[in-house]
Amino acid sequence: MKKILFLFSFIFLQTGIIFSQSVDEMIKQADLLEKQLKEEEAYQKFKEIIKLQPHQMYALTRCSELASRIGRRQATKEKQMDFYKAAKIYAERALKINPRDSDANVAMSFAYARMSLLKSGKEKVEYVREIKNYAEKALQSNANNFKALFVIARWHYEVSNLSAVERAAVKVFFGGLQKNSIDSAVIYHERVRTISPDFVLNYLELAKAYYKSNKKEKAMEILRYMLRLPNTAADDPTIKTEGKQLLESWK
């Protein structure tokens, strides 16, 4: 009997090791696909991992962030929102496992940021509140989380663009607005540039913030530098196209 129990224990242990190795290999494959700018394929691979290991934190946060990014490229608002809702669900699952995880909090912040682009009025302001809330939680766990810093930078920029109705709603949630929102956006974007100097999207948004701060030459300098950077994300070619168009319009 002892020999049989030992045999079953040995088989179970070996199966667990093989299973773990399989998931680890799948994660490497998904990471490689993402580095190759094949985000849709990477997204599907991470989803496969979650089916095998529902509590795999890294796969959950990657699925959330990729869903936010892929959603941005969808042709209709309905399809975009479908991806953004999926991003929110994956982030929620990750946060149930570890509410303090910096990457999970920033993934949730991204999801709300994307959804806010499709909202207006009071509902948009409610989403804006959540964007800042989760980004700040991410920074509490990791003060150098450049993605969270980027979200905060964008939050300040968007606050400077709110309509009169939206500003009134913000007073309810935040007790007023900072007068230097656009200056704060520049400061945070510059911090992101220090931590992650190859983050292409940050340069585009930094240039916009400088331009709105009446620093046109600095904004154009930032865009010219951005255009020389290598592409590290699937959206980078589109981002650079927008940068080229802005340069032409600012001349």
Instruction: Please say if the pLDDT value at position 170 is more than 70.
Output: no
Instruction: Please say if the pLDDT value at position 173 is more than 90.
Output: no
Q: What is the DSSP secondary-structure string of 2-39?
A: HHHHHHHHHHHHHHHHHHHHHHHHHHHHHHHHHHTT-H
Nearest to 115 by CA among 88, 154, 148: 88
Q: What is the pLDDT of residues 56-115, one digit of tens each?
A: 999 999 999 999 999 999 999 999 999 999 999 999 999 999 999 999 999 999 999 999
Instruction: Please say if the pLDDT value at position 9 is more than 60.
Output: no
Asked whether 243 and 220 are in contact (CB, 8 A), the reply is: no
Euclidean distance between CA atoms 149 and 102, whole angstroms: 12
Residue in this structure with the two tokens 């809702």, named with its chain if needed: 85
Asked whether 223 and 207 are in contact (CB, 8 A), the reply is: yes
CA 47 to chain CA centroid, Å, is 17
Q: What is the pLDDT of residues 24-62, one digit of tens each?
A: 999 999 999 999 999 999 999 999 999 999 999 999 999
Task: Give strand ranges (E) for 43-101.
Answer: none
Euclidean distance between CA atoms 99 and 30, whole angstroms: 24
Asked whether 138 and 109 are in contact (CB, 8 A), the reply is: yes
Same fold, 39-118 and 122-229: yes
Q: What is the pLDDT of residues 178-229, one digit of tens each?
A: 555 899 999 999 999 999 999 999 999 999 999 999 999 999 999 999 999 9
Q: Report the percent of the chain where pLDDT is more than 70.
A: 84
CA 9 to chain CA centroid, Å, is 42
Instruction: Collect all residues with Cβ–Cβ distance below 8 Å to 50 and sequence separation of at least 6.
Output: 56, 59, 60, 63, 90
* pLDDT given at position 251: 85
With cut-offs at 50, 70 and 90, classify the pLDDT of residue 158.
Answer: confident
Long-range pairs for 233-241: beta carbons < 8 A, 24 or more residues apart: 233/37, 233/39, 233/69, 233/200, 233/201, 234/37, 234/38, 234/39, 234/69, 234/73, 235/69, 235/72, 235/73, 235/201, 236/37, 236/200, 236/201, 238/73, 239/200, 239/201, 239/204, 240/200
Q: Which CATH number fits domain 122-229: 2.30.42.10, 1.25.40.10, 3.30.565.10, 3.40.50.620?
A: 1.25.40.10
CATH class of 39-118: mainly alpha
Sequence spans of domains, the chain: 39-118, 122-229
